Structure 1
Amino acid sequence: MAVLLGVLCLSLLSWLWSEAFSLTRLQSQPQACTPYRFSGTEELIELADELGFAGVQLSIRDRQGNWSDCAAGWADRGGLGEQMSIQHRVRFLSLSKVLTSALSVKLFREERLNLDHHLVDVVGVDGPYADPRVGLVTLRQLLSHSAGFDRLQSGDPMMLRAPWCPKQTQKLSTVRLDFSPGERFAYSNLGYCLMGAALERISGKALATLISDELLRPSGFTDLRPVRNGAQELDEARLYPHPAEFLDVLNGLDYDALHATGAWSGTTTDFARLMERVFLSNPPYNLLDSEGRRLLTTVAEDCDTTKWRHCHGLGLYRYQDGDGPTVLWRDGSLTGGTAFFAVSEDGQIVVWVANGRRPDWLSSNDRIGLAIYRYFTANTKADGGQQ
């Protein structure tokens, strides 16, 4: 009986949450795109409404290099309400991992680190190890989520209030892996945190400083910065947790420990332009050379890229459906927030960030990603596939 009552209460809360949003549908809420709205972006904007999110911010690059930056809905629905604008700070969540992977590949190309070095050697953790396989983990495996950490089996220490990574890497001597390094893929925040710890050890700099020095300052996007511990920023769009989630959990995370995994914020405009510098720009504006881009976007040759959320390289998933464009992507999800980034090999970019999340976040993120893929495909076919 208690279980049944709990299920009924949760269902009622979910219904009330969705009804609260439906009172002010995004179609009737403020919308703005600068300098204009590309044809076909309506589905991407309305999807935020269909998923029950208060507002959405997105930036889009077409194949010719033109940009459109859009905002719709509400940054804050309290009181008289505050319209979402393209100037509001939003959280990039796990899109932050692209910064870590791009930085790692950049340093590798500059021969400042070796991706095939063992993690324990880089961070200086000597054996004996409770699990001898820990000594075999490489930096490359950390980036490709194949180092042996599986949060579905052993949990995610990065979601604790006091995670041991990145400051207590000596704990590696007591850790037991969930599978042998290189054996398979398993998405891991811990793996990326340890990559951040390795970058700090190699450079002698805090990771946030290193990302700023190597990626943000050279590109001029210094308004991107880490989320601070505690309450949200005054210029930040308010996060709207689902009733089944709790904002105090979100505010209680140790963001100082999440710089490698999910703690960066800014506007989608700045993040999208930074991604252009990483993946598309020509010299002297590029952050990675052609070989660096190849390394960052390549997946295993025998991986079936026609399967969604299946093939992952050093920083991104890779997907192609039929004769559609090849797309590299990364998504993000945390209490009160949803984020998605995609870049196509024919030069399109979409960065889509909303200030809400559904309990079934994985399926809703997949829905967002496939909608972006349809948008890319439609625009590729509209001009005959010519760039």
Structure 2
Amino acid sequence: MELNRRTLGKLAVATGATAAAGTGVGYTVSRSADAATTWKTTGTAVAALAGFDNQMKAFMQARGVTGGQLAVTYKGRLVLARGYSTSTALDVQPTSLFRIASLTKSFTAAAIVKLVQDGKLDLATPVVNLLDIKPATGLTRDSRWSTITLWKLLQHLGGWDRDVSGDPTSKDATISRTLGVPMELQHADVIKYMAGQKLDFTPGTKVAYSNFGYLLAGRVIEKVSGLSYENYVQQKLLTPLGIKRMAQGWSVAKHTGEVPYESQYSGPTVLDMTGKTVPSPYGTFSLRIHDANGGWIASAPDLVRWAKLFDAPGSIFNSTSLSRFWSKPSTGVNPDGWYYGLGWQVRPVTGGTGRNTWHTGSLPGTSTIIVRTNTGLSWAALFNRRDDPSGKSYGDIDAALWTAANGVRTWPTTDLFPKYF
């Protein structure tokens, strides 16, 4: 769920961070970028949109990525849905499932906004009024916790800076030792540990991307709704849109139709106390802990159908709720105008109307991006790795897909949504 800001053309893209070096055994095969590859596509080819296929192929083959997926919408119509593979052992369909990492945050923010719209929450409510934020024995909670509202959680203004104190959702062993609890951790363990740590800055004074803030938002959803985080999102947000494939991912086991994940790295497991070395995508992090900040699995068509929800008021969100997603934070608007709204990064379009919105995601074995443009275009691209020996940036997919979109001369009038939903 790493998010490092870098400006690329029209968007600021978040890309992955480094993992502990090593060699994985079992689970998956790590492929080098220069390995011999075969190119396989699934889904309906669309001649007018061949530029998207070409960009995906070039991107994947340059990095040795074996599995990718892309969906594109235009004016609310699904015009392209494709699966891509560079391995004869892998059959990626347009409906295959991928871990989506931090694209999850748009679903968590939407669940909070839905509870607000239904009169069950107020974004100005401090999180300590909703959850039991109690530190371990002998430690004291920072008094500034009382100023951390839901607004601040969702806009990364909560007071935690992983560049200062580290990301608590990646400190499983430290939390286990400090609290004397076994791994795999529970959400309550992470919260208890953080309740006894000093905040890195006064809430509301700066933006610092925080997975922990969204972990807390997930627990608020559960407390207020009386449902599990997964069930609330499925019942209130996904089912009304006809999205039935999405689910919470598992740290090791795979759902039916889910792709395998690949990485050149390995590390110690956080799923038990053995300390055994495992491939990075399969146990160096706990998807259970990351449920609300990075835990969903989905297909690219699922994601662009989700993106369509934000185009206009409808049965799920009214106009007031939609405006909340694009609200500017009290601080943290970048010099070129983009900022983090509620679960989306937002760039107002200069000299025009509307905005471009996007999010990216990164986990060991996963790299993802979703984009909504002010011109009625959306796309989602998913890959089954985020690192390889080539050292090439995975954030380059942003510029590549903009190039493909800008090269389209005539957009198809067909709609593939009925085929997949």
Per the normalisation by structure 1, the TM-score is 0.81
The 8 Å contact of residues 130 and 223 in structure 2, kept in 1 or not, is answered as yes
Quick one: which amino acid aligns to residue 69 of structure 1?
A
- For residues 191-239 of structure 1, the C-alpha deviation after alignment (integer angstroms, 9 at most, x for no partner) is 1001111111111211111111111122221220001243333522111
Counterpart mapping for 1:211-360 below 5 A: 211-243=233-265, 247-252=278-283, 253-276=285-308, 278-280=309-311, 283-284=314-315, 287-300=316-329, 303-304=333-334, 306=336, 311-319=339-347, 326-358=355-387
Structure 2 CA distance, aligned partners of 1:361 and 1:338? 16
Quick one: which amino acid aligns to residue 269 of structure 1?
P
Secondary structure of 2:130 counterpart: helix
Structure 2 CA distance, aligned partners of 1:121 and 1:172? 17
Structure 1 CA distance, aligned partners of 2:77 and 2:188? 38
Distance 1:279 1:165, change over 3 A: same
* Residue 65 (structure 2) aligns with: 53
TM-aligned CA deviation for residue 87 of structure 1? 2.7
Secondary structure of 1:341 counterpart: strand
Structure 2 CA distance, aligned partners of 1:105 and 1:39? 38
Counterpart mapping for 1:62-211 below 5 A: 62-63=74-75, 65-74=77-86, 77=87, 81-125=89-133, 129-159=140-170, 160=172, 162-163=184-185, 165-166=187-188, 169-211=191-233
The 8 Å contact of residues 120 and 126 in structure 1, kept in 2 or not, is answered as no
Quick one: which amino acid aligns to residue 100 of structure 1?
T
Structure 1 CA distance, aligned partners of 2:406 and 2:124? 36
Distance 1:136 1:350, change over 3 A: same
Distance 1:351 1:107, change over 3 A: same
* Residue 3 (structure 2) aligns with: none
Structure 1 CA distance, aligned partners of 2:281 and 2:188? 19
* Residue 39 (structure 2) aligns with: 29
Structure holding more helix per residue: 1
Deviates more, 1:152-161 or 1:33-42: 33-42
- For residues 136-175 of structure 1, the C-alpha deviation after alignment (integer angstroms, 9 at most, x for no partner) is 1111111001101111211122122544535664445412
TM-aligned CA deviation for residue 349 of structure 1? 0.9
TM-aligned CA deviation for residue 98 of structure 1? 1.0
Secondary structure of 1:82 counterpart: coil
The 8 Å contact of residues 29 and 72 in structure 1, kept in 2 or not, is answered as yes
Per the normalisation by structure 2, the TM-score is 0.75
Distance 1:125 1:21, change over 3 A: closer
Higher RCO (C-alpha under 8 Å, 6+ residues apart): 2
- For residues 237-286 of structure 1, the C-alpha deviation after alignment (integer angstroms, 9 at most, x for no partner) is 1111124777544322332222201111121112221221x2125634xx
| Percentage of pairs with the same residue | 22
Structure 2 CA distance, aligned partners of 1:34 and 1:321? 32
Give the RMSD, CA atoms, in angstroms.
Answer: 3.3
* Residue 5 (structure 1) aligns with: none
Structure 2 CA distance, aligned partners of 1:146 and 1:63? 34
Distance 1:382 1:269, change over 3 A: closer
Secondary structure of 1:369 counterpart: helix
| Number of residue pairs matched by the alignment | 359
Distance 1:366 1:291, change over 3 A: farther
The 8 Å contact of residues 169 and 190 in structure 2, kept in 1 or not, is answered as no
Unaligned runs of 5+ in 2: 1-20, 173-182, 268-276, 412-421
The 8 Å contact of residues 33 and 63 in structure 2, kept in 1 or not, is answered as no
Structure 2 CA distance, aligned partners of 1:249 and 1:178? 28
The 8 Å contact of residues 30 and 263 in structure 2, kept in 1 or not, is answered as no
Distance 1:361 1:173, change over 3 A: farther
